[in-house]
């Protein structure tokens, strides 16, 4: 690919300064000639050459201070013109003062540079300095156009005729990889429609897109409006997908270099742009003030949710932050990122397993956390179906161990990060998280009834988070990169989605809002069909589903649901101060019974005990009905009956 900036050398500064000086010198001579009505003989009394030389010396000194010769001629702009005007005016003023001194002190009554000649010289100088720059710029543009005739073309529209749209238009015209044919702007503002911006017509709103795609052969739409609502952005992108044109958007302003944009500021539309919703604006402004100065422990700190919780806690200026995880490399990497971003943060990483009670007690005794966010968990459904004992050890025993220590060491609040898979679970992972919820709720109830502790236990329950480790979106991106196929378990399967920051906002809000015993659930919006998600991701990559990249139905994996829920059929919800955050009315169990059942679970070890263990889980969570799993056999009423004491 030809890059003119590299092919054609930039003129050295001394050559530009020489040309500017030469023009100044010649303009003085031309000014004298014009002033004399082209009668050279009438200038015999004036030292024309000496006057020109004097003006040149003055101009050279002024140029040295104003640096008017350092600009790249091919990129001459209005700012360069203003700088040349300033240089010319200063030169004229200094020349006038020198001529005044000459006529008063050296040769009384004699002017070597009359005022009329000086005025004409200034006008000529400014004009010629700008004209030759613009001439070079135009020659370069013609050469660039000639070269671009061999570049691949892109027919585009720009959505948004504001400042960002204008900057993007200027940027793509300078692109050296493609020749962009900008066929116009689209804008929602009726005041801009049918007018011209940068000489380009603003055709109308989004409703004009269909006809322009047909008439102009538009292949790309650049979305330049940065404050579009997620709903409006989805509408625009969905229209692009329907019309089979490529959509691009721009990076945030804070990522622009030196406050200006380039074609590098354009980015592909991500599927997250389609799934994101209006941000949840939490009304409780006490989150930061509550966490400020406190010692905070985050378990599972290296995971998708845990790491974001740590980041948001760090912004609240805690007294000390303890990041606990058993994954060494991710924990180390996250530590480096936080230390770089929050240099004054009191931070300690702890490599530990939440089921190791002895080690955890040492950590609690050493750091005395006041708030615990418990995000450590095994979350992958198919894997937990294969290893139910490990699921119970981490998700149930791990939660119980940390919660018991929280009571023992006087922690103010314990916030459990749960999942919508705990509702009507069809898999071991969801059931293990439901049992963890049950223990937390019953423990909080017992503490309230007996008055034997001040720790308040709170649970947050939400769906899938965008881009989390091992989730469907990173998987689809990787499959698209390899050319497909994209694997979907079932054409009917749906999931709720939310962003990681939103999920962590909810967790932090719960830590402040909760009084103990609540299960906070989140209005997840509308569920998304995974097969539609796959098709849209293929479209966004510039390919056609089932043509360029295939979609393959693989069948539901053991324990997977067709759809998820955030509330049980028997559960109702209470409103909170925010319309999208509710409290599930879940009747807490009896602590002694739940605790005994968990003790029985932990006694079941070895592969031969898996069926018995899952049977015990089903006894604890009667709504736990396995799906396409080896544990479906336990759902037979006679088997479950045999397990009952």
- Residue 43 sits at the vertex; the CA angle it makes with 42 and 46, to the nearest 5 degrees, is 145
Please identify which of the residues 154, 400, 413, 421 carries the catalytic annotation: 421
Neighbours of 474 (CB within 10 A): 13
Q: Tell me how far apart the alpha carbons of residues 482 and 5 are, in angstroms, rounded to a whole number.
A: 35
Give one DSSP letter per residue of 317-362, joined into a string.
--SEEEEEES-HHHHHHHHHHHHHH-TT--EEEEE--TT-HHHHHH
Give one DSSP letter per residue of 70-112, joined into a string.
-S-GGG--HHHHHHHHHHHHHHHHHHHHHHHHIIIIISTT--S
Q: Tell me how far apart the alpha carbons of residues 560 and 581 are, in angstroms, rounded to a whole number.
A: 26
* Residue 182 backbone zone (phi > 0: left; psi -120 to 50: alpha; other: beta): beta
Q: Tell me how far apart the alpha carbons of residues 605 and 624 are, in angstroms, rounded to a whole number.
A: 21
Is 174 a residue of the active site?
A: no
Structure tokens that stand for 43 in this block:
């200038």
Q: Tell me how far apart the alpha carbons of residues 68 and 83 are, in angstroms, rounded to a whole number.
A: 6
Contact in structure between 531 and 554 (CB atoms under 8 Å): no
SS (H, E, C) 256-273: CECCECCHHHEEECCHHH
Give the dihedral of Cα atoms 32, 34, 39, 43; nearest 10 deg.
-10
Residues 6+ apart with CB under 8 A from 366: none
Contact in structure between 335 and 347 (CB atoms under 8 Å): yes
Neighbours of 261 (CB within 10 A): 24
Q: Tell me how far apart the alpha carbons of residues 169 and 200 are, in angstroms, rounded to a whole number.
A: 10
Neighbours of 94 (CB within 10 A): 15
Give one DSSP letter per residue of 167-228, joined into a string.
HHHHHHHT-SS-EEEEEEEE-S-TTTTTSEETTEEEEESGGGHHHHHHHH---EEEE--TT-
Adjacency order of strands within the sheet including 572-575: 347-351, 320-325, 295-299, 371-374, 413-417, 456-461, 519-522, 581-585, 572-575
What residues are annotated to the active site?
421
């Amino acid at each position: 690919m030809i890059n003119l900036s590299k092919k054609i050398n930039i003129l050295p500064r001394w050559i530009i300064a020489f040309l500017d000086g030469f023009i100044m010198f010649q303009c003085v001579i031309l000014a004298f000639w014009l002033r004399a009505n082209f009668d050279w003989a009438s200038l015999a009394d004036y030292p024309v050459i000496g006057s020109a030389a004097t003006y040149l010396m003055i101009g050279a000194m002024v140029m040295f201070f104003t640096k008017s010769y350092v600009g790249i001629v091919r990129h001459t702009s209005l700012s360069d013109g203003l700088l040349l005007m300033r240089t010319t005016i200063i030169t004229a003023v200094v020349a006038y003062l020198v001529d005044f001194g000459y006529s008063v002190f050296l040769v009384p009554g004699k002017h070597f540079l009359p005022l009329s000649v000086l005025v004409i010289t200034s006008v000529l100088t400014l004009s010629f300095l700008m004209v030759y720059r613009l001439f070079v710029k135009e020659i370069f543009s013609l050469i660039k156009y000639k070269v671009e005739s061999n570049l691949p073309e892109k027919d585009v529209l720009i959505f948004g005729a504001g400042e960002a749209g204008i900057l993007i238009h200027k940027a793509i015209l300078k692109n050296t990889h493609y020749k962009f044919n900008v066929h116009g702007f689209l804008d929602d503002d009726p005041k801009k429609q049918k007018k011209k911006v940068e000489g380009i017509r603003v055709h109308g709103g989004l409703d004009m897109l269909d006809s322009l795609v047909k008439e102009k052969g538009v292949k790309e739409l650049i979305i330049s409006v940065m404050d579009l609502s997620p709903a409006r952005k989805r509408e625009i992108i969905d229209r692009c997908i329907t019309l089979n044109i490529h959509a691009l958007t721009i990076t945030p302003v804070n990522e622009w270099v030196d406050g200006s944009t380039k074609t590098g500021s354009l980015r592909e539309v991500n599927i997250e742009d389609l799934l994101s919703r209006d941000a949840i604006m939490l009304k409780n402004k006490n989150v930061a003030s509550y966490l400020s100065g406190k010692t905070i422990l985050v378990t599972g700190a290296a995971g998708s949710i845990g790491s974001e919780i740590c980041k948001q806690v760090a912004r609240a200026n805690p007294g000390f932050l303890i990041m606990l995880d058993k994954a060494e490399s991710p924990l180390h990497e996250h530590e480096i990122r936080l230390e770089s971003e929050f240099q004054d943060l009191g931070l300690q990483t702890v490599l530990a397993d939440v089921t190791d009670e002895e080690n955890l007690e040492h950590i609690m005794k050493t750091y005395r956390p006041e708030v615990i966010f418990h995000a450590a968990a095994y979350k992958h459904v198919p894997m937990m179906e294969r290893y139910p004992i490990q699921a119970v050890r981490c998700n149930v025993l791990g939660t119980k161990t940390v919660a018991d220590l929280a009571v023992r060491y006087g922690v103010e609040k314990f916030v459990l990060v749960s999942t919508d898979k705990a509702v009507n679970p069809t898999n071991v992972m969801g059931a293990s998280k439901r049992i963890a919820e049950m223990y937390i709720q019953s423990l909080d109830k017992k503490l309230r009834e007996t008055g034997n502790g001040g720790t308040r236990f709170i649970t947050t329950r939400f769906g899938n988070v965008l881009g989390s480790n091992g989730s469907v979106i990173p998987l689809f991106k990787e499959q698209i990169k390899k050319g497909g196929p994209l694997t979907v378990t079932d054409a009917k399967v749906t999931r709720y989605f939310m962003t990681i920051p939103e999920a962590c906002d909810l967790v932090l809000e719960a830590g402040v809002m909760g009084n103990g015993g609540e299960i906070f659930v989140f209005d997840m919006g509308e569920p998304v069909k995974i097969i539609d998600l796959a098709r849209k991701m293929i479209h966004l990559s510039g390919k056609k589903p089932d043509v360029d990249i295939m979609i393959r139905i693989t069948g539901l994996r053991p324990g997977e649901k067709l759809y998820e829920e955030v509330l049980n059929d028997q559960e109702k919800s209470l409103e909170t101060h925010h319309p999208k955050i509710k409290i599930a009315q879940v009747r807490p169990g009896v602590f002694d019974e739940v605790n005994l059942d968990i003790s029985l679970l932990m006694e079941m070890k070895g592969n031969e005990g898996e069926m018995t263990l899952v049977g015990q889980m089903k006894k604890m969570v009667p709504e736990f009905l396995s799906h396409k799993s080896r544990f479906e056999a336990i759902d037979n009423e006679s088997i479950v009956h045999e397990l009952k004491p």
